[in-house]
Amino acid sequence: MNEFLFSLMPYFFYTLFKYRKSMYMLQQNSYNESNRYLKWIFKNTSKTFSSYEIFIFSVLIITIVLVDKYFAINLLVYTTAFVIELKHAKVEQKKKKFVITSRIKRLMLTIFILFGVMIYFVYINYDKMGLATISSIFFMFSFLSYVITYIANLINKPIELMVFNYYLKSAKEKLKDRPNLKVIGVTGSYGKTSSKNILNDILNSKYISFTTPKSFNTPNGIMKTINNDLDKFTEMFVVEMGACKLGDIKELCDIVHPKYGIITSIGLAHLETFKSEENIQKGKFELIESLPSDGIAVLNKDDANQVSYKLKNKCKIIWIGIDNKEADIYASDIKMSNNGLVFNIIIKKKKYKFETTLLGKHNVYNILGAVALGLEFGIDIENLQRAVKKLKPIEHRLELKEQNGIYIIDDAYNSNPVGAKSALEVLDMMPGKKIVVTPGMIELGEKEYKLNMEFGMEIAKVADEVILVGKKQTEPILDGLLSMEYNEEKIHIINNVKEAYLLLNELKGKSTYALFENDLLDTFNEV
């Protein structure tokens, strides 16, 4: 028995690696929200049930049957497997770190208990079972790590619900103690984070404004922000609201009870989980329908999905726009360059000049929404102009930075049909060699192929070189490029973004601008 346990030492390390990866994928797939993790397992069977593991098991069984050196072979095989996992870990690109949260710790404990139950079962039946059976049990616990992690997550659901309700109650009580706090919700298919940060910066020109950090736009992220970071001095609280299905925005509104709301745009993002464009429209308008009758909503007059919606709420509506001059506040004479934007804002037939270092036409909409609410809160035009001029680029959203002699236009967190088009417009204005690096757009449901192919066609009009990340994922983009008779020698297909930086150094000219459009989570890695 002792010899057997010793031979399993490398197995324990190997299994630990396996479960760390499975929990990492569960975390990236929002703990199986809308069955995302389960769908990922079935979509990536070559990763979750690798063939080399089956080979390992076959070697062990054959060894048991043919020779009596099982323990030595067991030690050798799992040591080899562990070394392979270590090598994979070194070359794998981690775009988003695995965070050991309290929830992950509870999940670890549940998995450890399941492992302990297996060990105990083997211990009490060791003399009754053959080595082949024991080996099979241990192997299956490792081989089915992604499935067992899913089961452990199911087991923990009642506990997680209790934890959720505890923090929910705490967040609601904290907000209730701040009756004068002005809460502003920001949602939309695209541009939520940019709009939120721009609004927060502008409001801070007169008030103490605070916003949810990064992309904290889920119930857990918003509750954590309220409980840990919202202080008694805050006058304005800007809340980014994300959604992947009907009811998500309503749930967030029931937590923070916004009086003000902005919808940036309504498009095809998360079409796969929303199921239909109509559901996306209804889902975004859950914010506006949740506002009190004396609340204020800022909507986009250029967005057909916003104009066509039959609003039941009687709250005040402020329409913004660029193309539609019937909007309450609209922009005109927009001049875009690699230095930023210069434009006029027309308010009550009066024209005011604004300028910013932000890139992209879509940021004009974001600024218009912030200016509209800023005026409602009594911020004068001069302060608004100064605040807009001071705006800084938002990380990973058309952020221009220099790296090894190459100008990187980082749009990693903003890839969608509208954002991608805007990003290409920005790249087209740049004075130099133009390169696009992209894995394409995702979660667009049945329209994903068509929209990515169209994206490829648009890239062909702008880029001098194209780097596609992931052969299978980018097939529609490749088809779009080739349909435009794009030079195949200028198309480069790689496995991950890390390789792109090496390739860029080979492709760069005297002045090179590289647009990084989208950076898929590790759940979408093909290698």
Cβ(277)–Cβ(222) under 8 Å? no
Q: Give a yes or no: residue 119 inside a domain.
A: yes
Distance CA 280, CA 504 (A): 38
Strands 399-403 and 406-411, by their bridges, are: antiparallel
Ramachandran bin of 266, using left for φ above 0, alpha for ψ from -120 to 50, beta for the remaining angles: beta
Q: What is residue 7's predicted lDDT score, i.e. its pLDDT?
A: 66
| Least confident piece of the model among 160-164, 189-193, 314-318 | 189-193
pLDDT over threshold 90, residue 44: no
Q: What is residue 5's predicted lDDT score, i.e. its pLDDT?
A: 62
Residue 304: CB partners within 8 Å, gap ≥ 6?
A: none
Q: Are residues 96 and 236 in the same domain?
A: no
pLDDT over threshold 90, residue 468: yes
Question: Where does the pLDDT of residue 160 fall: very low under 50, low under 70, confident under 90, or very high at 90 and above?
Answer: very high
Q: What is the CA radius of gyration of the chain?
A: 27
Strands 340-347 and 329-337, by their bridges, are: antiparallel
Q: Are residues 432 and 469 in the same domain?
A: yes
Average pLDDT, the chain: 88
What Å distances lie between residue 387 and 7, 200, 391, CA to CA? 66, 10, 6
Last residue of a domain, one of 390, 411, 427: 390
The phi, psi pair for 301, rounded to 5°, reads -70, -15
Q: Are residues 356 and 219 in the same domain?
A: yes
Q: Are residues 28 and 88 in the same domain?
A: yes
CATH assignment of the domain containing 512:
3.90.190.20
Residue 491: CB partners within 8 Å, gap ≥ 6?
A: 465, 466, 468, 478, 481
Residues of the chain with pLDDT > 70, as a percent, come to 90
Distance CA 252, CA 220 (A): 10
Identify which of 54-63, 168-177, 423-432, 517-526 has the greatest average pLDDT: 168-177
Q: What is residue 319's predicted lDDT score, i.e. its pLDDT?
A: 98
Which letter, b or e, does each residue of 252-277 get, where b requires 16 or more Cβ atoms within 10 Å of its Cβ? bbebbbbbbbbbbbbbbbbbbbbeee
Q: Give a yes or no: residue 211 inside a domain.
A: yes
Q: Give a yes or no: residue 161 inside a domain.
A: no
Q: Give a yes or no: residue 23 inside a domain.
A: yes
The stretch 122-149 carries a mean pLDDT of 85
Distance CA 252, CA 463 (A): 41
Q: Are residues 138 and 201 in the same domain?
A: no
Last residue of a domain, one of 107, 125, 155: 155
Distance CA 106, CA 445 (A): 34
Which letter, b or e, does each residue of 468-483 get, where b requires 16 or more Cβ atoms within 10 Å of its Cβ? bbbeebbbbbbebbbe
Q: Residue 206 is encoded by which pair of tokens?
A: 């007169």
Q: Are residues 403 and 386 in the same domain?
A: no
User: Based on the structure, what is the number of domains in the chain?
Assistant: 3
Q: pLDDT (tens digit, 9 = 90+) per residue, 49-94?
A: 877 677 777 776 666 666 655 666 666 677 777 676 666 665 555 5
Distance CA 462, CA 425 (A): 8
Q: Give a yes or no: residue 7 inside a domain.
A: yes
The stretch 159-178 carries a mean pLDDT of 95
Place of tokens 């509750």: 223
Q: What is residue 523's predicted lDDT score, i.e. its pLDDT?
A: 45
Last residue of a domain, one of 155, 183, 213: 155
- Helix residue ranges per DSSP H, 377-489: 381-390, 417-428, 448-462, 475-483
Q: Give a yes or no: residue 301 inside a domain.
A: yes
57 versus 187: the higher-pLDDT residue is: 187
Q: Give a yes or no: residue 163 inside a domain.
A: no
Residue 11: CB partners within 8 Å, gap ≥ 6?
A: 74, 78, 138, 142
The stretch 152-171 carries a mean pLDDT of 96
Q: What is residue 250's predicted lDDT score, i.e. its pLDDT?
A: 96
Closest residue by Cα to residue 81 from 130, 150, 6, 8? 8
Q: Give a yes or no: residue 166 inside a domain.
A: no
Q: Are residues 229 and 279 in the same domain?
A: yes
Q: Are residues 519 and 406 in the same domain?
A: yes
Closest residue by Cα to residue 151 from 37, 6, 71, 294? 37
Using alpha carbons only, give the angle 221, 222, 227 rounded to the nearest 5 degrees: 100
Distance CA 264, CA 189 (A): 7
Q: Are residues 273 and 230 in the same domain?
A: yes
Q: pLDDT (tens digit, 9 = 90+) per residue, 435-450?
A: 999 989 887 878 889 9
Q: Are residues 201 and 294 in the same domain?
A: yes
259 versus 414: the higher-pLDDT residue is: 259
CATH assignment of the domain containing 371:
3.40.1190.10
- Helix residue ranges per DSSP H, 360-400: 362-376, 381-390
Domain coverage including residue 503: 399-524
Q: Are residues 342 and 207 in the same domain?
A: yes
Q: Are residues 218 and 329 in the same domain?
A: yes
Q: What is residue 33's predicted lDDT score, i.e. its pLDDT?
A: 84
Q: Residue 248 is encoded by which pair of tokens?
A: 């998500």
CA-based torsion, 336, 518, 409, 261: positive or negative:
positive
Q: What is residue 365's predicted lDDT score, i.e. its pLDDT?
A: 95
Question: Where does the pLDDT of residue 524 fall: very low under 50, low under 70, confident under 90, or very high at 90 and above?
Answer: very low
Q: What is residue 420's predicted lDDT score, i.e. its pLDDT?
A: 87
Q: What is residue 382's predicted lDDT score, i.e. its pLDDT?
A: 96
pLDDT over threshold 60, residue 402: yes
